[in-house]
Chains A and B, each alone.
Chain A
Amino acid sequence: MTHFERDDRLNDRLLDVARQYHAPLPTPREDMWSAIAAGRQRRFERRRRGLPIRWGLALAAVLVLGVALGRWTMSGRGSIASGPTGVPSDVAYQVAASQYLSRTEVLLTDFRAESRRGRLDPQFLAAARDLLTTTRLMLDSPAAKDQHLKNLLEDLELVLAQITQLPAEPGRQNEMDLINQGMDQHGVLTRLRTATPAGPPSSRAQGAL
């Protein structure tokens, strides 16, 4: 047997030499931690900038579709199966409203759970900002012709605006409690759940169509 093998293994001398292969330097612990923090912040900012744009575009597409359907029908060039309101363009708004209400319901339910910790993470706040933008778009859209929905949207705008103004740092328990009390007093979550059709978001959209 040579020094190259003892059973299948390389011998100790060779293993010693092999262990010098890419022998690691001392870990640059603090440098890397700073770089990790900066990298995570950059990605978070990138996502935060991207989200409202994507949702804004999606909502705008639905609104444009609604307007187009309405004009098409009014010009008498075709007929489209109408929704519960009897106005075809309302179907598109219902889809947008249904998806928006579902997301808001999830976020506000999460808020109750998160507020027990007394701290909101940056991703949660980004989602709230995104929904606040969508709420304002919904208020400016024909979906707000419905007075009940308009009232709900206005309450949601207030709640979301309060949430987005919370800093992402611990020790905000009192402010979060006040937001929760405000929601309870106005029955925001109950009204939101009543306005949100039952079932998963995808089936709600299909139902509206």
Chain B
Amino acid sequence: MDERELIARARAGEPAAERALYDAHVDRVYRLAYRLAGDDDLARDFTQEAFIRAFERLHTFRGDSQVSTWLHAITTSVALNGLRKVKRFRQRETDLDDAAQVSGGPRLAEPDLKRRLHAAIDALPEGYRTVFLLHDVEGYTHEEIGAVLGVETGTSKAQLSRARAKLREALADFAGEWAS
């Protein structure tokens, strides 16, 4: 059964077709949600919400893009909105923790490259981070990113370039250590 037929059947409320659609796409959707969230519980929540919305809105899918692109757009939107809420919540908790501490703890050992790079990715602005993860980590093309995020291809390219520049800047002191 091709995907077009699968969607038509799922749209008609056929449970087997909905399950087949889910099976075909859940790995990439969960993977994307996990990359953005970095937490299993959040990734599960975002994946579940993305599929619930997709099934509810399947009648609005016109087939202009691939269903995977449409699903990934829903997932990205759900995940980024969810992360903003989580960030606001965690920020409040952090503020309380900071206020409770009289002074900082012992100085941490110099983090290794992995920790530094991951911290630098965390610190990227949301748009840069999303494009970097989609392109350099997950292998999406700029055209796919444009469709998923609803931005021009040029915007995606520019944000990726700025993301890489910021990462290079954050890791500048590792440059000599790894120079070939």
A contacts, CB < 8 Å to B = 2-5, 8-11, 13-15, 17-22, 24-25, 27-29, 31-33, 35-36, 39-40, 43, 117, 119, 121
Is the beta-carbon distance between A36 and B51 smaller than 8 angstroms? Answer: yes
Given contacts A28-B30, A40-B52, 14 further A-B contacts (CB under 8 A): A2-B175, A2-B180, A5-B164, A10-B168, A13-B178, A21-B121, A22-B34, A27-B30, A32-B30, A32-B44, A32-B51, A36-B48, A39-B49, A43-B52
B117 in contact with A29 (CB, 8 Å): no
Chain B positions 137-180 with a Cβ under 8 Å from a chain A Cβ: 137, 160-161, 164, 167-168, 171, 175, 178-180
CB distance from B57 to the nearest CB of A (A): 12
Cα separation A104 to B113 with both chains bound (whole Å): 67
Selected from A4, A31, A40, A119, the residue in CB contact (under 8 A) with B44 is A31
- How many A-B residue contacts, CB cutoff 8 Å? 98
B88 contacts chain A at the CB level, 8 A cutoff: no
Bound CA span A22–B19, Å: 27
A39 and B180 contacting across the interface, CB-CB below 8 Å: no
Q: How far is the CB of B9 from chain A (nearest CB, A)?
A: 11
Given B38, B48, B178, which contacts A2 in the complex, CB threshold below 8 Å? B178
Task: Report chain B residues within 8 Å CB of A24.
Answer: 30-31, 34-35, 43
Which 6 A-B residue pairings sit nearest by Cβ, starting from the closest? A22-B38, A24-B34, A121-B13, A3-B178, A24-B31, A27-B30
- Nearest CB to that of A24 among chain B residues? B34
Interface residue SS majority, chain B? helix
Verify if B107 is at the interface (C-beta below 8 Å from A): no
Asked if B55 is an interface residue, CB under 8 A from chain A, the answer is: yes
A22 in contact with B37 given A4-B175, A8-B161 (CB within 8 Å): yes
> Which residues of chain A come closer than 8 Å to B3, judged between CB atoms?
none
